[in-house]
Structure 1
Amino acid sequence: MKRWTGIMIFLLLVKQLSAQEKLPLKEQFTSTDKPFIFLVSGDGGVKGFTASLCSAMHDKGYSIASLDAHAYFWNKKTPEQTASDITNYLTTALRSRADHHWVMIGYSFGADITPFVVNRLPDSLKSQLADVILLSPSTSTDFEIHLSDMLGIGKKRSMDVVAEINRLGNQRTTILFGEDESGFPISQVKLAKYHSDVIKGGHHFDGNSQAVAEKITDIINNK
């Protein structure tokens, strides 16, 4: 009996490690005492603006792991599964760091799913989460990549992003938009520790990743 119990535990560990290994991440690490950044990309993946933003944050001295949303959410996930996968990764990533504080950033599709993930993280990780930063979120999601959304002809999905943002409680949260964007009901966000701001440009901030990186750095530094 003990032998079979041991085998089952081993197989569960292998399954957990296998799932973690399959998490499609781009990692850019450096020796730093700044908070660790975990970023979830837009539906196009970690390329273009997202890749440039990650490099800009790394150049500012941050270690950053970027989840490729296109690859990960190509097959539909649940908020619980996503939170579990990210928890497994962060538990390992933060363990070797002297400072366990971290920041979660979501861009576009990544911003839509971020509040659902944060609300399902274990208290041990949430207590170390310094900031949630949402770049150009929309009002709904369903944890799956849709070609229609990528072509700009998407429709309303089943999960309410604004309602989930409002469940973040006392979590310090910032929402950033391009000044040319409209349609997100900012006035409906009712968090105690909440701030919104705009940056020149549209949904891709005119490709100015440096300006976005500067704003994110200011947020992290409480400016």
Structure 2
Amino acid sequence: MSPRARLLTLAAVLGLAFAGVAEAAVVAPRLIETPAAAPGDALAVLYSGDGGWGPLDEGVAKVLAADGVPVLGVNSLRYFLARRPPQAVADDLADQLRRHQAQWGRQKIVLIGYSFGADALPAIVPLLPADLRGQIKGLVLIGTGPHGDLTFHPASWLNRATADSFAVAPAVEALKGLPMTCIYGDKERLDICPTLPAATIRQVRLHGGHHFDGDYAGLGQAVLKAAAL
């Protein structure tokens, strides 16, 4: 098979896969609440990867909730299927933060992103209202790639940049001064965490690849420690 034929075949397969996933995503919940099982003063928002809300996200959320940190999960596949201006994405987050601060009685904020979510958050945070930015206790990026998007594209599954992509590293560096931690697996080759300036963001290395060998409880504990929760 010629390179062009392989490319066309891959495009067709991705198109079919995307159609199926998009159909499933329509009925999947966009927001997932994990209430806290203990008292505390902070809440977390966790943006999932582009596979949707999965076992990793759920595992991390359960660890945080058990430690007194309620989690609002954002199913990134569901949410970012629709194209939204960056400010609209930030406004949505701001609305949910205020609503859940009141609902859960917490004021401190921890923002967490995994994979697609980690790549997206550095572009969202600067657009939040100043009062909410001042309440951010920590930004935790898990499995961070070189480029981010605020709209899902099938190319995201291949770790390819699109016309809408932005470079993540400069976006992270622009947030210098905000307490930030990136967490990466020692078997993951595409993660940019080890290349980011240590003066800007704290780096935490765990065992495993992009899914941390399924040790989601350990990952959750690393997130708690990173955010000083």
| TM-score when normalising by structure 2 | 0.80
Partner residue in 2 for 1:211: 218
Look up the equivalent residue of 1:85 and give its one-letter code: D
- Offset of residue 98 of structure 1: 4.7
Distance 1:203 1:174 in 2: 16
Partner residue in 2 for 1:156: 161
Secondary structure of the 1:33 match is coil
Per-residue displacement from partner, 1:161-188 (whole Å, max 9, x unpaired)? 1110011121000000011012344465
- Offset of residue 128 of structure 1: 0.4
The change in CA–CA distance for 1:187 and 1:200 in structure 2 (over 3 A counts) is closer
1:25 and 2:2 correspond: no
Distance 2:143 2:183 in 1: 6
Q: Specify every segment of 5 or more residues in structure 1 that has no aligned partner in the other structure, as ranges.
A: 1-22
Aligned length: 198
Per-residue displacement from partner, 1:29-78 (whole Å, max 9, x unpaired)? 13522410111000111122212221222222220000010100012223
| TM-score when normalising by structure 1 | 0.82
Counterpart contact for 1:105–1:135, Cα < 8 Å: yes
Per-residue displacement from partner, 1:125-146 (whole Å, max 9, x unpaired)? 0000000000001011221222
Look up the equivalent residue of 2:178 and give its one-letter code: Q
Look up the equivalent residue of 1:89 and give its one-letter code: Q
Partner residue in 1 for 2:74: 67
The change in CA–CA distance for 1:79 and 1:105 in structure 2 (over 3 A counts) is same
Partner residue in 2 for 1:44: 51
Distance 2:137 2:45 in 1: 12
Distance 2:206 2:120 in 1: 22
1:189 and 2:192 correspond: no
Q: Percent identity, aligned pairs only?
A: 24
Partner residue in 1 for 2:11: none
Counterpart contact for 1:107–1:136, Cα < 8 Å: yes
Distance 1:98 1:75 in 2: 31
Q: Specify every segment of 5 or more residues in structure 2 that has no aligned partner in the other structure, as ranges.
A: 1-28
Partner residue in 1 for 2:148: 141
Look up the equivalent residue of 1:48 and give its one-letter code: P
Secondary structure of the 2:127 match is coil
Partner residue in 1 for 2:25: none
1:76 and 2:89 correspond: no
Secondary structure of the 2:159 match is coil
Partner residue in 2 for 1:58: 65
Distance 2:191 2:71 in 1: 28
Root-mean-square deviation (CA, aligned residues, Å) is: 2.0
Secondary structure of the 1:119 match is helix
